[in-house]
Amino acid sequence: MNTGENDILEMESVGDTDEFDGDVRLDMIDEEVVYPEEFLPTYHTIKEGSKLLKTQLAEFNNRPDSLFFNDGIRRIDFILVYEDEDKKEFDKRHMSQRRKRRREFFEASLMSMGLELEATKSVLDDKLMFVKVHMPWDVLCTYAEVLHIKVPIQPNDLSSRTSPWHFLSCITKHFYPSEKLISKEAEYFTAPFEKAQEEFFYIKDKDLFFTPAMRSRMAYYILSRAPYELRGNIKKFGINKLLDGGVYKAAYPLHDCRFNVKSKDDACPNERFLLYNEWAHPKSFYKMQPLDLIRKYYGEKIGIYFAWLGFYTYMLALAAVVGLGCFIYGYKTQETSTWSKEVCDPEIGGQIVMCPQCDKFCNYWRLNSTCEASKKLCIFDNFGTLVFAVFMSIWVTLFLEFWKRYQARLEYEWDTVEFLEQEEPLRPEYEAKCIYERKNPITGMKEKVPYTACGRCVRVSIGIGTVLFWILLIVASIVAVMVYRLAVFFAFSTSLRNQDLKTLEPLKEYVTPQMATTVTASLINFVIIMILNILYERVAIWITNFELPRTKTDYENSLTLKMFLFQFVNYYSSCFYIAFAKGKSVGYPGNPVYLGRYRNEECDPGGCLFELTTQLSIIMGGKAIWNNIQEVLLPWVKNLILRHCKRGDAESTIPRWEQDYRLQPFSNLGLFYEYLEMVIQFGFVTLFVASFPLAPALALVNNLFEIRVDAWKILTQFRRIVPEKAQDIGAWQPILQGITILAVATNAMIMAFTSDMIPRLVYYWSFSVYPYGGHANHTMQGYINSSLSIFNTSDFTEDSMPQESYNITTCRYRDFRYPPGHPRQYEYNVYYWHVIAAKMAFIIVVEHIVYFTKFILSYVIPDVPYSVKEQIKREKYLTQKILHETNLKLVTKHMKLDDDETTKNTEDDVSKEGMDLDF
């Protein structure tokens, strides 16, 4: 923890268990608060602070775009909003006195810490009061040093290398924001600010030296640590507690203008207006993002999110083109596929009678009833899909490696290279619970912590246990959906295939029992996913709060891990079931495998791949629609209702701070959900892409809208977000790396076990060597007949025999077993074992090739570009030269002057002694 201003936060013992819900207790309303003697000066400033605020009660000066105090000089760095208790009814006013005392104490604390405040009445509501917060230059310098804010020391004298594609600038300039409106940011070498060496920094204008984002960040740091109550040895502090208790209605930094109207105030930079027109407006959907301006306006944390989202979308373009080409190839070849034509051929598929897929009530059915499904399957299950799966395995590696390079450049340009190397401030919630002492293993000094080692183990164990319980709950829901699938498949099989013996034709051309079951089960599974997400979100936040992480980064990383583990199981478990479990353990008609009282599900004769594709498309599409409704429509509707409920004054007559108050507050976890949404999408794009080549294209279209929708949302519907520092995307980086490693295995296994690709290849290359072999000219003719085994209907058990036999003596089923009458009837034949061997060999070969390629690419592509390394070294050199060596010279100069003065005094003393001796 940084020292300095934190002396005010030191506590003898802290236990802020008094929640604000208890404020209505009458026995506590008039309780006398006793303050320690050392804090009395600040306590006495409460009344003086209240008087100061009243004398600074500024009336609205008809300048709605003003970002300054009433004097037009002091800039507003933060806004606090509260409801004046004097305007309330008598009974409510009496119960609000304690809140009023807390607010007055808090504001006096802010003034004692150097902040300047000015109160203003609301234009629309007489009860509302707006407190404007200003940070003077001296306070800015103090907290810039405390927070290690890096500021310019000298213009960058290393010219950036010219891009090899500069000759295309006449074309590419149309895809960038207008340079006339958003000029390129000047490049500087920077160093952490030091108040004692202010003259060595590149300060042109003190009013503009610290950006509004920096000023707001420093103001929020003070607000989060200013005390609002002292009771004995207990000190309570932080704006968040006051907001939770209703002492303040809101706290936020100001937008600089309206998003759709340019401010007429000369001192307004109009950055919000520029961002809306060149970034968030639908007409700019094709333009690159003005990341430097986004970072300048919202801070590094928001900037790095949009940089990552834009880079991810940019890389998706290549994957989408290849995936779309694979889809077109499959679509063109579906009519020419030999095995699909055999399924649809009345003389082949129409003559093959398939065994019932459930007991007693299911009937026999013709193979050509799945004609349309087999054609659709050809679109996704072809040789092009195999190539695309391998391509995507390489693509994810390139995506991560190039992102590391891009991120390294942003880290340097945005001054976050050494962010994590500096000590991050503690969370106020953590500081408030520090009652135990321990020895810091790094500094060797004693420090206070909120729990012992045993207590921490208990907290973590409870958190892990709760997460495991919810994951088991998801597994239970998946089992419930499986039982539903079995029961509904039984019902659909009875109704859709209850045909007359003469025809045995399908009731409907496009509807099969498998397809009807898959669609309804996918919809139900999606609803369950959304419900569990809502419930678990609150549980995960509660667990993370209970664990009491030390810093905000620790808090976000802990919550990220919990939420992702849950979401991973919640979203992907049904896909894993269809891909790797369904149809893999069904037995054969005379000896089926049961799950409870229901027979296990079987796949269509073409496999389960199309069902997996259907599941993915429903979950991806439904998730995108639901997220847009939740993230965009709800805030817009809330703001619309709020505007209609309030007096309909035009924005041109309402001050800037009150216009922002009418917007929605941005959640502390708002950015977390944005990352989570995109990472889950990234999993769909990579983990199961072998079954759905269109996933990258759909993700690309969604992300093009997502960027602009997110930009429109935070610019127009929400108050300005408190700027935060961030070096990278945090815990999401290792999660993405884990997904890419898992994606290689899942795609290889989908191609081997879910797709019918390997059995076809074995058949294609076997020709006449084996009894199941194809033709010597390498065609797939006869493959369907070869992939279906024969069953004698007389071998049905009493429980599984259909009620009506239709005088059918044999039927077919999807498997590789010996026919009836063979010495090893109904056992796996040689073809089955050759196919299994080919599948295992395929997985091993593909995984080794892809992993080796990933290793080579990771080694060849450096994480930090050479030009960035040069500039980082140059910046460290200049920092050493300008700041530290200058200090050394000053110290040496002072020491020399002191030595000269000492020598002179010594010589004077010696000469004086000589004169005395002569005398």
Q: Is the pLDDT of residue 469 over 90?
A: no
Residue 492, strand partner residues: none
pLDDT of residue 731: 85
Any residues with CB less than 8 A from the CB of 231 and at least 6 apart, and which?
33, 34
pLDDT of residue 885: 62
Highest mean pLDDT among 412-426, 801-815, 823-837: 823-837
What share of residues in the chain are helix, strand, coil (percent, to 5)?
60, 10, 30
Cβ–Cβ under 8 Å, residues 188 and 202 = yes
Q: What is the rounded average pLDDT of the residues 592-616?
A: 75
305-348 tens-digit pLDDT: 999 999 999 999 999 999 999 989 888 887 778 878 888 888 88
pLDDT of residue 324: 92
Q: What is the rounded average pLDDT of the residues 265-288?
A: 87
Radius of gyration from C-alpha coordinates of the chain: 35
pLDDT of residue 907: 54
Any residues with CB less than 8 A from the CB of 178 and at least 6 apart, and which?
278
Alpha-carbon distance of 773 to 678, in angstroms, equals: 46
Alpha-carbon distance of 300 to 553, in angstroms, equals: 14
Cβ–Cβ under 8 Å, residues 514 and 613 = no
Confidence of residue 892 (pLDDT cuts 50, 70, 90): low
Kindly list the distances between the CA atom of residue 413 and the CA atoms of 125, 149, 292, 410, in Å, as whole numbers in the listed order: 44, 14, 9, 5
Closest by CA to 95, choosing from 151, 20, 13, is 20
pLDDT of residue 276: 92
Residue type, 7: D
The conformational region for residue 424 under phi > 0 = left, psi -120 to 50 = alpha, else beta, is: beta
pLDDT of residue 919: 35
pLDDT of residue 915: 44
Token digits of residue 699: 């993700």
pLDDT of residue 9: 38
Q: What is the pTM of this model?
A: 0.81
Alpha-carbon distance of 841 to 303, in angstroms, equals: 45
pLDDT of residue 31: 36
Instruction: Say which residue, 445 or 152, is predicted with more confidence.
Output: 152
Residue type, 619: I
Give the three-state DSSP class for 230: strand
pLDDT of residue 263: 83
Kindly list the distances between the CA atom of residue 231 and the CA atoms of 20, 46, 101, 247, in Å, as whole numbers in the listed order: 15, 15, 13, 18
pLDDT of residue 285: 83
Integer distance in angstroms from the first to the last C-alpha of the chain? 66
pLDDT of residue 800: 79
- Residue given tokens 């880290």 in the structure block: 411
Lowest mean pLDDT among 50-64, 747-761, 811-825: 50-64
77-133 tens-digit pLDDT: 999 999 876 655 555 555 577 888 888 899 999 998 899 999 888 888 888 899 999
pLDDT of residue 308: 95
Helices and strands, number each (H, E), in the chain: 30, 18
**What rounded mean pLDDT belongs to the chain?**
77
Closest by CA to 397, choosing from 860, 868, 869, 867, is 860
735-782 tens-digit pLDDT: 999 998 898 888 888 888 888 888 888 888 775 444 455 555 667 788
Q: Is the pLDDT of residue 828 over 80?
A: yes
Share of the chain above pLDDT 90, in %: 13
Confidence of residue 21 (pLDDT cuts 50, 70, 90): very low
Q: Is the pLDDT of residue 886 over 50?
A: yes
pLDDT of residue 43: 43
Lowest mean pLDDT among 110-114, 118-122, 433-437, 558-562: 433-437
pLDDT of residue 582: 79
DSSP string for 510-534: S--HHHHHHHHHHHHHHHHHHHHHH
Q: What is the rounded average pLDDT of the residues 704-729?
A: 89
pLDDT of residue 57: 61
Instruction: Report the DSSP pairing between strands 436-439 and 446-449.
Output: antiparallel
Residue 605, strand partner residues: none
Share of the chain above pLDDT 70, in %: 77
Confidence of residue 831 (pLDDT cuts 50, 70, 90): confident
Instruction: Say which residue, 67 or 499, is predicted with more confidence.
Output: 67
Q: Is the pLDDT of residue 810 over 80?
A: yes
Alpha-carbon distance of 676 to 710, in angstroms, equals: 14
Token digits of residue 403: 């992102």
Token digits of residue 168: 């295309």
Closest by CA to 377, choosing from 606, 124, 99, is 606
HEC-encoded secondary structure of 589-637 = CCEECEECCEECCCCECCECHHHHHHHHHHHHHHHHHHHHHHHHHHHHH
470-521 tens-digit pLDDT: 888 888 887 787 777 777 766 766 665 454 433 434 444 445 666 677 777 7
Instruction: Say which residue, 152 or 874, is predicted with more confidence.
Output: 152
Confidence of residue 36 (pLDDT cuts 50, 70, 90): very low
pLDDT of residue 29: 29
Q: What is the rounded average pLDDT of the residues 395-409?
A: 90
Instruction: Report the DSSP pairing between strands 250-252 and 78-83.
Output: antiparallel
pLDDT of residue 806: 72
